Amino acid sequence: MNHRPFEDWLLDDQLLDPAQKRELDGHLRSCEICSAIAESNLALRSARVVGPAPGFTARFQERLVLARRAQRRRTLLGTLFFSLGGMLLLAALAGPTLVSVLGSPAEWISAMIQALLFIYTTLLAVTEAGSVIFRVMPGFMPPFVWLILLSTLSGLGLLWSVSIWRLMRRPQGVQA
Amino acid sequence: MNEEQTWILQAKNGSDEAFTYIVETYQTPVYNLCYRMLGHPQAAEDAAQETFLRAYQHLHRYDMKRSFATWLLSIAAHYCIDRLRKRKLPVFSVDEDEETTFQIPDAQALHPEGEAVRGEHREQVHQLVQTLDTTDRAAIVMRYWYEFSEKEIAEALNLTVSAVKSRLHRARKQLGKIWQESSTTAQVERSPYESPAF
């Protein structure tokens, strides 16, 4: 037998039967490459497990305390930074409006009333238009169109409910 | 649920005592993996500490259906691989090894000569492993020191089983080649004045 299968047996760490083992032993006596692979495999198999210096757990606990302290500091600094940033941003955005309101309150109050009136009249108009459409539409639409429309709306509602339920579900075991 | 899983569950629920038990139990395997990966005791100590810190911070992500040892060693291996990729570590020193590592007692170490030869052998193995590519090294360490199956190595290193097989094959070939070269060099060094004629 040539060199190749023996090398593959060693490199793939294959399980050998007694006859194959005998053949391999014979080959190892004459092949330097295969005997080097076999020796290095054997050396790795007999290698020792090295442990840390004594007191590893105590050193870890010290490190954990430091890490927790650093985490607390980061959280505090982050909260401070975002709170201050938010307040500054709010002041920058709302500042000009606030100045104008404080400068002329009557003008600002009349503008607010106008806006509220506009919203109210728009809502009234939309409601009126909607009621007219609902009164007129049933005459134009045959019953099966209503059936399709209602089925579609129910289907969409069901889909929405299922999506919400799936999103709310807690994951069962997260892979590391 | 076995005793270990009970400890893990308690640690997940925030018990520091339970996590201390985990550190006590796994400190040697984690340190050994880091030492074999990084080749330097101080770097190994740091990496092992960091591994336990990461495990502590991400314990809620651990799936109790998986092996805890595989999960923990996977964290250690990934950390060491990242570290080796980020920067080249200084070459380790044999003297430093003696000072800062703690060898697990060997029952066979009764004969000084035999122990010296074995020590030389161990050093050779350690140096051999350091020549490998980082991921190949992790696969070899997991296979030979922890007897992980190819599937377990694949899980720990986020590789496919066929990729693990191919990496182990390549690593063994490289180790054999270096072993052969170092044996030849050692023979030449031991008999520098000998002539082939005699």
Cα distance from B58 to chain A (closest Cα, Å)?
8
Q: Is the pLDDT of residue B192 over 80?
A: no
Chain segment B155-177, per-residue pLDDT in tens: 999 999 999 999 999 999 999 99
Cα distance from A146 to chain B (closest Cα, Å)?
50
Chain A residues within an 8 Å CB radius of B156: none
Q: Which one is predicted more confidently, B133 or B94? A: B133
Neighbours of B58 (CB within 10 A): 13
Domains of chain B: 1-101 (1.10.1740.10), 114-188 (1.10.10.10)
Mean pLDDT confidence for B29-41: 95
Mutation pick from B73, B127, B144 vs chain A, by most beta carbons of A within 10 Å, is: B144
ipTM of the complex: 0.74
CA dihedral B163, B169, B171, B174 (to 10 degrees): -140
Confidence of residue B3 (pLDDT cuts 50, 70, 90): confident
Mean pLDDT confidence for A132-143: 82
Confidence of residue B127 (pLDDT cuts 50, 70, 90): confident
Kindly determine whether residue A57 and residue B44, on different chains, have CB atoms separated by under 8 Å.
no
Q: Which one is predicted more confidently, A31 or B49? A: B49
Domain spans in chain A, listed from the N-terminal domain onward: 3-45, 75-167
Confidence of residue B117 (pLDDT cuts 50, 70, 90): low
For B56, which of A57, A64, A176 is closest by C-beta distance?
A64
Kindly determine whether residue A33 and residue B64, on different chains, have CB atoms separated by under 8 Å.
no
Mean pLDDT confidence for B13-28: 93
Chain segment A64-79, per-residue pLDDT in tens: 999 999 999 999 999 9
Report in angstroms the alpha-carbon separations of B43 from A122, B38, B60, B93: 72, 7, 27, 12
Handedness of CA B104, B110, B115, B116 (dihedral sign): positive
Kindly determine whether residue A47 and residue B145, on different chains, have CB atoms separated by under 8 Å.
yes
Determine the pLDDT at residue A5. Answer: 85
Determine the pLDDT at residue A119. Answer: 96
